[in-house]
Amino acid sequence: MRFFSDNAASVHPTVMEALSRANVQDTAYDGDALSAQLSGKFSHVFETDVEAMWVATGTAANSLALAAMCQPHQGVVCHKEAHIEQDEAGAPGFYTGGAKLMLLDGEGAKLSADAVESHCVAIRDDVHQVQPAAVSITNATEYGLVYKPDEVAALSSVCKARGLGLHMDGARFANAVASLGCHPADVTWKVGVDVLSFGFVKNGGMGAEALIFFNKDLAAATHYRRKRAGHLQSKGRFLAAQILAMLDDDLWLKNARVANAGAQVLAIASGDRLLHPVEANEIFIKLTAEEAASLRGAGFDFYDWGAGQARLVTSWNQSAEDIKPLAEAIRAL
Amino acid sequence: MRFFSDNAASVHPTVMEALSRANVQDTAYDGDALSAQLSGKFSHVFETDVEAMWVATGTAANSLALAAMCQPHQGVVCHKEAHIEQDEAGAPGFYTGGAKLMLLDGEGAKLSADAVESHCVAIRDDVHQVQPAAVSITNATEYGLVYKPDEVAALSSVCKARGLGLHMDGARFANAVASLGCHPADVTWKVGVDVLSFGFVKNGGMGAEALIFFNKDLAAATHYRRKRAGHLQSKGRFLAAQILAMLDDDLWLKNARVANAGAQVLAIASGDRLLHPVEANEIFIKLTAEEAASLRGAGFDFYDWGAGQARLVTSWNQSAEDIKPLAEAIRAL
Amino acid sequence: MRFFSDNAASVHPTVMEALSRANVQDTAYDGDALSAQLSGKFSHVFETDVEAMWVATGTAANSLALAAMCQPHQGVVCHKEAHIEQDEAGAPGFYTGGAKLMLLDGEGAKLSADAVESHCVAIRDDVHQVQPAAVSITNATEYGLVYKPDEVAALSSVCKARGLGLHMDGARFANAVASLGCHPADVTWKVGVDVLSFGFVKNGGMGAEALIFFNKDLAAATHYRRKRAGHLQSKGRFLAAQILAMLDDDLWLKNARVANAGAQVLAIASGDRLLHPVEANEIFIKLTAEEAASLRGAGFDFYDWGAGQARLVTSWNQSAEDIKPLAEAIRAL
Amino acid sequence: MRFFSDNAASVHPTVMEALSRANVQDTAYDGDALSAQLSGKFSHVFETDVEAMWVATGTAANSLALAAMCQPHQGVVCHKEAHIEQDEAGAPGFYTGGAKLMLLDGEGAKLSADAVESHCVAIRDDVHQVQPAAVSITNATEYGLVYKPDEVAALSSVCKARGLGLHMDGARFANAVASLGCHPADVTWKVGVDVLSFGFVKNGGMGAEALIFFNKDLAAATHYRRKRAGHLQSKGRFLAAQILAMLDDDLWLKNARVANAGAQVLAIASGDRLLHPVEANEIFIKLTAEEAASLRGAGFDFYDWGAGQARLVTSWNQSAEDIKPLAEAIRAL
């Protein structure tokens, strides 16, 4: 019974079937019939004209997005606990050619428009200080909180006023949208997001994420950068197939709803233990070492989040029934 | 009837089955049970202790290998028609931080030990000229020729004398070994290869290549660089599964033998048209524009290789029966 | 009457004379007779065998030092107000190929051994997090404080235990040594410093700093990197000449003592206004906007250091007499 | 009697005097009164509005120019014997973030418009091949030949048609202009040059070159890149002073005329030995090892240029009288 991370869950059967169907010869790289559908399908999903490309990982998606918005001598404003800062081995520095991540605080790993504005104001406008070129936010955040459309809009206002690009790391974008109950457009391009890393791997996919350019001018050079990074797979149709399968019948949303629902069950069971509101599929709770050992002894796997804290993540493939034993075990502590 | 490239062929059924079997939850990244088998399996294949890692593409494998051997201010000697120079969008420059590819001539895209030595001798030993740190060869080459063990050994002697690493781009390593009829060790570590990009995608895989470190000291930092490049997939077990399936029962060799056999059929049919000896699964022939149009009209797809020349590539999934129509069509020109 | 910065002060007459004497034809780059003396002279100054090279700026010296100790996928621990983080336009990211500066707090821009250790302990030892490779400290710090030998030794213990290099940004190294009254060896190699950026430009030089490798293994590749960065000047003898002139008769120490003495005069005059102890040639004081305007109206130039604060810097060419009017003006506020 | 290189010659007395005059306190970096004059003075020299900045070396000037025109995933077309390829330790790769130099042949290290066009035509317009973004030519070339205005115009036509920037490495621009007898505008912006590295160090300067942006849009980011590369010297007024002194009374042209005249004396003396026409201040001659030894025995210093060849370079500080002994010695061989 794993609550360690959604990134190791199984692949949805529909995705597996799509891979089988894709196993016919076609043009290499992204010249195949499936890859050719991506931009159209995502334009339909987002109700605006976008350019979409597949990449294998969220780290690649994020870094390509940042490289599209930020020159090597510039900077990207993000939360100090952002995945791009904490968990990507310096990938943004690699892809941007050495640009600087500018780290801000914020409750629940959320950036506020005020914090971004204050940070930018404090940078001297001279050549000695790195100037920001973009802001990157994660939705849902690393603590499972969700940016609401007006929060993104406020950030975007700051960005527009200062000529900064706005990137959304959507490794758990599906969970965020499911949580908000809004249209995916409402929390992205309609509130000023330029580029979105739309994650599928944590939500039923195998190894394919989508990079969505609402600002299509940023896409052209990314085709070269993706190849240059070794991310233009020759059998790209298998990545496209995964993504298309996830889009069909809104499988991405359905899967996310399951994971989010599971998280709510655990949230209720956790009560006062909760460290953050549970808005997506991650639960952060107070847990002593003894309690953690007890839960593990009962067969539950999860992540220690520093002393006396734990992170539980629910996945698309865990039904309410699957969650129940852990919920009860937490209550019983 | 596609002879355009082996890199768009279908995936071998055994590999597809392995993906299905791998679709159970396991630890993320390369912490899973399948990934854990890679180094052991390849050590067995090569009869020496190696460190192996999966990556999704040959471009990533090659670039990670070069970055392991070459500092940003150094250079890599390769053929001017090498894939790393011609077809990887500058990936080596990206991964190495700006190292220089030093381009040499050589019949059939093969480097000779003499050519490498002459090139190195001509470099002034001062800080104004980029100094080489590694040599990269492709086996089989971009023109379908195969380096024999003694040719690699001669190159390796030059490398060792000058302190250069030796990398083998084995996008079609299986075809080379099948052609040579030797043990894979004979043309790699036994003759001084430090790192091998062992290709599976062109030979029945979906999206997994293996990076083999015979010189295990070079492997440690590569784990970080792989992650930093966004190539550490969270469901890495699916890449490991592909590779392990290809190793089982020597599927990699069997597939390569089929492709090579097909190429021989075309080679015989091509007669005087041949531009290079056919030693693996690529055939380069003289072909006028009219002849090319005629073949295409008959349903054969292939690559124009400059004026009056064409490249035909056979794949693992093309039987002698599948090849015959093209052979006859060429004879009939 | 400028107290804005020591980096715009005039050049010491002895240095100007040395430039005139160097104006005879000699071998280019660093092959000349003067450049050839550098390592020997500095070995004498530090009473140990060092390798020394000139570069034009402190930013180049610092970045070359960090690049010698840190791979692109690694990190450098420094204070969040360090010059390399705040005032070098991302130069460390450029020279290292994208390595990360890991920013710590600390009173007066000083790093403590405990802070470094705590930071390193908190980094997960996996490939997802950037691992540190070096620590960089500034002596005297950006707030004019001085690291004492035992403080450097404590930092060095942490570094040694963790395999980290230790760099000292000595843009005002002369002021630090003058303040400590110790031998320059006592606060560098004897307490574990691997590489020192030894500044001369703020202390009477024109455009030459020295990069001192106590760990000589780190020097070899730096010769290439210096050239690759466009910092190997063809008339390098003029840089060597400046540095040698500064070393002769301990001019570097004499100049620093003058600047430090001037700072003490201002420190005493500032009394309760002082924001930090004055240990070198920088004084940070509380100063209202009105007071600042008043001083400027009287002809004193200095740097606003955020709201209600100012930075005053004394220079080698300001005698006690030159300082007195400002001291009195501060007292009179 | 040195004919080894002009880059180690003495500094012109007028430049030395300018340094003395500049030795008064002024604002740091390029905020001083002298630096502020540069763009105006060069706009006057070139009779068009330019943006000019100082840097210490030609390598830095060239690399900053290329970085302004070429993204990391693109390429720069140049001659295979260009200084940027042969003698700058890979600096363009460093500054551009790994862009590729695309090496062409051409008599006397000159690029022809046809060669550039042919090269570009042969690049597949796909993401697998690096696409060119700029062309870099050297005037005078590495073999002392001079591009005439119509030759530059022809190259520029190709560049404009393909959207490529055009850079001129003018390490010996003064010698080229002196040789052409044209206005400096005639061989630069009037024929499509976007950025010029205007060299002074080989022509009487100490350590200052000028980067001239005819295309001023390219200049903005270069201010950041110059700082980031550690090339924004804090006492920049001393670099500006050198350049301004060289511009006054056309000292740059006068010095170049002296060097060129000396080269003509040697050219006439060399007769059939000449390997290239002598159009600037470099002379390449056939010379046996015995002859070389004989000349050296007589006190003449020069560069061996491969087997049986030598390079002689004349400098601004060598009068006809100074040249005569070598001319006679060559005749006497």
B73 and D90: CB-CB below 8 Å? yes
- C287-292 contact pairs (CB < 8 A, 24+): C287/C333, C291/C333
D228 and C202: CB-CB below 8 Å? no
Residue of B nearest to C31 (CA): B126
Angle, in degrees to the nearest 10, between helices D13-21 and C13-21: 170
| Residues B70 and D79 sit within 8 Å (Cβ to Cβ) | no
| Residues C282 and C140 sit within 8 Å (Cβ to Cβ) | yes
pLDDT for A25: 86
Residue with tokens 């430049």, as numbered in its chain = D15
Residue C212 phi, psi dihedral angles, 5° rounding: -110, 120
Domain D12-249: which topology?
A: Aspartate Aminotransferase; domain 2 (3.40.640)
pLDDT band for D21, please (50, 70, 90 cuts). Answer: very high
Q: Does B130 touch chain D (CB under 8 A)?
A: yes
What is the rounded average pLDDT of the residues D45-56?
98
Burial class, D121, CB count within 10 angstroms (exposed 0-12 / middle 13-18 / buried 19+) = exposed
* D51-55/D209-213 β-pairing: antiparallel
Q: State pLDDT tens for residues C145-162.
A: 999 999 999 999 999 999
CATH 3.90.1150.10 domain extents, chain D: 251-331
What element of type H or E holds B213? Answer: strand B209-213
pLDDT band for D302, please (50, 70, 90 cuts). Answer: very high
C87 and A128: CB-CB below 8 Å? yes
Distance of residue B89 Cα from the nearest chain C Cα, in angstroms? 19
D234 and C201: CB-CB below 8 Å? yes
Q: C88: which chain A residues are within 8 Å (Cβ-Cβ)?
A: 128
Q: Among residues 191-230 of chain B, which lie with CB inside 8 Å of chain A?
A: 201-202, 206-207, 224, 227-230
Q: Does C128 touch chain B (CB under 8 A)?
A: yes
As a whole number of angstroms, the distance between CA D3 and CA D314 comes to 6
Q: Does B26 touch chain A (CB under 8 A)?
A: yes
As a whole number of angstroms, the distance between CA D143 and CA D82 comes to 10
If we measure between CA atoms, which residue out of D33, D39, D40 comes closest to residue D54?
D39
Q: Does B296 touch chain A (CB under 8 A)?
A: no
Residue of A nearest to C81 (CA): A129
Q: C99: which chain A residues are within 8 Å (Cβ-Cβ)?
A: 90, 93
What is the rounded average pLDDT of the residues D226-241?
98
Q: Does B81 touch chain D (CB under 8 A)?
A: no
- Write down which chains contact chain A via at least 3 CB pairs under 8 A: B, C, D
Residue of B nearest to C98 (CA): B97
Cβ atoms within 10 Å of B41's Cβ, excluding its own = 18
pLDDT tens series, chain B, 333 aa: 889 999 989 999 999 999 999 999 899 999 999 999 999 999 999 999 999 999 999 999 999 999 999 999 999 999 999 999 999 999 999 999 999 999 999 999 999 999 999 999 999 999 999 999 999 999 999 999 999 999 999 999 999 999 999 999 999 999 999 999 999 999 999 999 999 999 999 999 999 999 999 999 999 999 999 999 999 999 999 999 999 999 999 999 999 999 999 999 999 999 999 999 999 999 999 999 999 999 999 999 999 998 999 999 999 999 989 999 999 999 999
pLDDT at D139 over 90: yes
pLDDT for B265: 97
pLDDT for A1: 82
C234 and D11: CB-CB below 8 Å? no
pLDDT tens series, chain A, 333 aa: 899 999 989 999 999 999 999 999 899 999 999 999 999 999 999 999 999 999 999 999 999 999 999 999 999 999 999 999 999 999 999 999 999 999 999 999 999 999 999 999 999 999 999 999 999 999 999 999 999 999 999 999 999 999 999 999 999 999 999 999 999 999 999 999 999 999 999 999 999 999 999 999 999 999 999 999 999 999 999 999 999 999 999 999 999 999 999 999 999 999 999 999 999 999 999 999 999 999 999 999 999 998 999 999 999 999 989 999 999 999 999
As a whole number of angstroms, the distance between CA B176 and CA B180 comes to 6
Residue C68, beta-bridge partner list: none
Burial class, D309, CB count within 10 angstroms (exposed 0-12 / middle 13-18 / buried 19+) = middle
- For C130, the closest of A90, A103, A129 (CB atoms) is A90
- CATH classification number, A11-250, choose in 3.90.550.10, 3.40.50.300, 3.40.640.10, 3.40.1190.10: 3.40.640.10
Domain B251-331: which topology?
A: Aspartate Aminotransferase, domain 1 (3.90.1150)
Q: Does C98 touch chain A (CB under 8 A)?
A: yes
Q: C223: which chain B residues are within 8 Å (Cβ-Cβ)?
A: 127
Q: B230: which chain A residues are within 8 Å (Cβ-Cβ)?
A: 55-63, 88, 91, 95, 229, 231
| Interacting residues of B132 by C-beta distance below 8 A, sequence separation 6+ | B74, B75, B76, B77, B102, B119, B120, B123, B162, B164
- For A232, the closest of D127, D221, D228 (CB atoms) is D127
Residue A71 phi, psi dihedral angles, 5° rounding: -75, 160
Residue D27 phi, psi dihedral angles, 5° rounding: -60, 150
As a whole number of angstroms, the distance between CA C193 and CA C189 comes to 5
Residue B167 phi, psi dihedral angles, 5° rounding: -110, 140
Distance of residue B20 Cα from the nearest chain A Cα, in angstroms? 7
Q: Does A90 touch chain C (CB under 8 A)?
A: yes
pLDDT for B178: 98
| Residues D210 and D231 sit within 8 Å (Cβ to Cβ) | no
ipTM of this complex: 0.97
pLDDT at D1 over 90: no
- For B2, the closest of A25, A90, A228 (CB atoms) is A25
Domain A251-332: which topology?
A: Aspartate Aminotransferase, domain 1 (3.90.1150)
Q: What mean pLDDT is reported for chain C?
A: 97
B93 and D93: CB-CB below 8 Å? yes
Task: Write out the two tokens for A278.
Answer: 């549970």
Task: Write out the two tokens for B216.
Answer: 């295990």
pLDDT for B67: 98
D72 and A131: CB-CB below 8 Å? no
pLDDT for D320: 87
- CATH classification number, C11-249, choose in 3.40.640.10, 3.40.50.300, 3.40.50.2300, 1.25.40.80: 3.40.640.10
pLDDT for D25: 86
Q: What is the 3-state secondary structure (H, E, C) of chain C?
A: CECCCHHHCCCCHHHHHHHHHCCCCCCCCCCCCCHHHHHHHHHHHHCCCCEEEEECCHHHHHHHHHHHHCCCCEEEEEECCCHHHHCCCCHHHHHHCCCEEEEECCHHHCCCHHHHHHHHHCCCCCCCCCEEEEEEEECCCCCCCCCCHHHHHHHHHHHHHHCCEEEEEECCHHHHHHHHCCCCCCCCHHHCCCEEEECCHHHCCCCCEEEEECCHHHCHHHHHHHHHCCCCCCCCHHHHHHHHHHHHHHHHHHHHHHHHHHHHHHHHHHHHHECCCCCCCEEEEECCHHHHHHHHHCCCECEECCCCEEEEECCCCCCHHHHHHHHHHHHCC
Residue of D nearest to C32 (CA): D8
Q: A32: which chain B residues are within 8 Å (Cβ-Cβ)?
A: 8
Residue of A nearest to D126 (CA): A224
Distance of residue D75 Cα from the nearest chain A Cα, in angstroms? 12
Q: State pLDDT tens for residues C267-299.
A: 999 999 999 999 999 999 999 999 999 999 999
pLDDT for C302: 96
Q: Does B121 touch chain C (CB under 8 A)?
A: no
The alpha carbon dihedral of C105, C107, C111, C117 has a sign of negative
D20 and C16: CB-CB below 8 Å? yes
pLDDT at C25 over 90: no
| Residues A202 and A4 sit within 8 Å (Cβ to Cβ) | no
As a whole number of angstroms, the distance between CA B151 and CA A149 comes to 64
CATH 3.40.640.10 domain extents, chain B: 12-249
pLDDT for A94: 98
Q: Does B73 touch chain D (CB under 8 A)?
A: yes
Distance of residue C88 Cα from the nearest chain A Cα, in angstroms? 5
CATH 3.40.640.10 domain extents, chain A: 11-250
pLDDT band for C116, please (50, 70, 90 cuts). Answer: very high
| Residues C91 and C59 sit within 8 Å (Cβ to Cβ) | yes
Task: Write out the two tokens for B298.
Answer: 């008959």
pLDDT band for C51, please (50, 70, 90 cuts). Answer: very high
Q: State pLDDT tens for residues C204-218.
A: 999 999 999 999 999
| Residues B200 and B168 sit within 8 Å (Cβ to Cβ) | no
Residue with tokens 């801000």, as numbered in its chain = A104
pLDDT at C192 over 90: yes
Express as a percent the part of chain D with pLDDT over 90. 98
| Residues A48 and A70 sit within 8 Å (Cβ to Cβ) | no
As a whole number of angstroms, the distance between CA B53 and CA B36 comes to 9
* Chain CA centroid to CA B136, Å: 11
CATH 3.40.640.10 domain extents, chain C: 11-249
Look up residue C74 and give its amino acid.
Answer: Q
B230 and A63: CB-CB below 8 Å? yes
B100 and D93: CB-CB below 8 Å? yes
Distance of residue C149 Cα from the nearest chain A Cα, in angstroms? 30
As a whole number of angstroms, the distance between CA B38 and CA B211 comes to 10
What element of type H or E holds B245? Answer: helix B237-247
